[in-house]
């Protein structure tokens, strides 16, 4: 990169370097000195673009949020039935984690150990937002499809999020060998078959 590179490009380069280090140095705490070497900048140059390492992690979290929720909005626009909607949302999150191993450590919280508590809170809020979206999908199924969840809506949505979080955790714990979508199609079919009740026949 040249000295004339736009600041946004430099910021992206730094974040890409951080994500790569999270993938290659799985389990290690990233220092700004190591990150500076990774991206070919001085620590002072890093801090000209990000005032702290916490802000670098926040930049990664913002990228995750923007990517996931833009695509979720697209799913909701294109898919009308609840089961396919839920399935595509969950598959999206798993596919994103699988394709971005370093960011899966951020999603799982592993990379945030020892960092400022507000980062873990941001990830907690991200998953709460996903869970809220699933609740909304399930509530709309009752209105538009006359199908009710077999569990209370909150419990059903929480179960789906717990499954996704568990698969991401396995991925990180296995050093990215246990892929999040391994067996997922079969598992989702089993979950989907029990998620909603069909309308009761009229008396």
Each residue's pLDDT tens digit, 12-63: 999 999 999 999 976 778 889 999 999 999 999 999 999 999 999 999 999 9
Residue 203: pLDDT over 80:
no
Question: DSSP label at 111?
Answer: G
Note whether 107 and 98 are within 8 A (CB).
no
Rounded mean pLDDT, 88-105: 97
pLDDT for res 4? 41
Rounded mean pLDDT, 127-146: 96
Rounded mean pLDDT, 179-192: 97
How many C-beta atoms surround the C-beta of residue 48 within 10 A? Answer: 12
Q: Where are the beta strands (DSSP E) in the chain?
A: 148-149, 196-197
Task: Give bridge partners of residue 197 from the DSSP assignment.
Answer: 148
Note whether 78 and 191 are within 8 A (CB).
no
Give the up-direction half-sphere exposure of residue 2: CA atoms within 13 A in the CB hemisphere.
3
Taking the C-alpha atoms of residue 72 and residue 64, their distance in angstroms, rounded to an integer, is 12
Mean pLDDT of the chain: 92
How many C-beta atoms surround the C-beta of residue 143 within 10 A? Answer: 8
pLDDT for res 2? 37
pLDDT per residue as tens digits for the range 71-95: 999 999 999 999 999 999 999 999 9
Q: Would you state the torsion angle of the CA atoms of residues 25, 27, 28, 34, taken in this order, to the nearest 10 degrees?
A: 30
pLDDT over 90 percentage in the chain: 84
pLDDT for res 201? 61
- Give the tokens for residue 148: 């009710």
pLDDT for res 30? 86
């Amino acid at each position: 990169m040249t000295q004339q590179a736009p600041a946004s490009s430099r910021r992206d380069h730094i974040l890409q370097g951080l994500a790569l280090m999270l993938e290659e140095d799985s389990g290690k705490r990233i220092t700004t000195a190591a990150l500076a070497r990774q991206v070919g900048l001085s620590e002072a140059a890093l801090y000209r673009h990000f005032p702290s390492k916490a802000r670098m992690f926040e930049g990664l979290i913002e990228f995750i949020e923007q990517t996931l929720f833009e695509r979720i909005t697209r799913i909701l626009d294109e898919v009308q039935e609840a089961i396919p909607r839920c399935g595509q949302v969950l598959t999206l999150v798993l596919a994103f984690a699988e394709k971005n191993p370093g960011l899966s450590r951020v999603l799982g919280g592993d990379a945030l150990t020892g960092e400022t508590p507000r980062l873990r809170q941001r990830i907690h809020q991200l998953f709460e937002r996903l869970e809220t979206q699933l609740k909304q999908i399930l509530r709309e199924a009752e209105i538009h499809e006359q199908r009710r969840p077999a569990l209370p809506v909150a419990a059903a949505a929480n179960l789906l999020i717990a499954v996704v979080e568990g698969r991401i955790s396995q991925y990180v714990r296995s050093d990215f060998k246990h892929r999040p979508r391994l067996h997922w199609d079969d598992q989702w079919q089993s979950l989907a078959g029990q998620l909603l009740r069909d309308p009761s026949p009229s008396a």
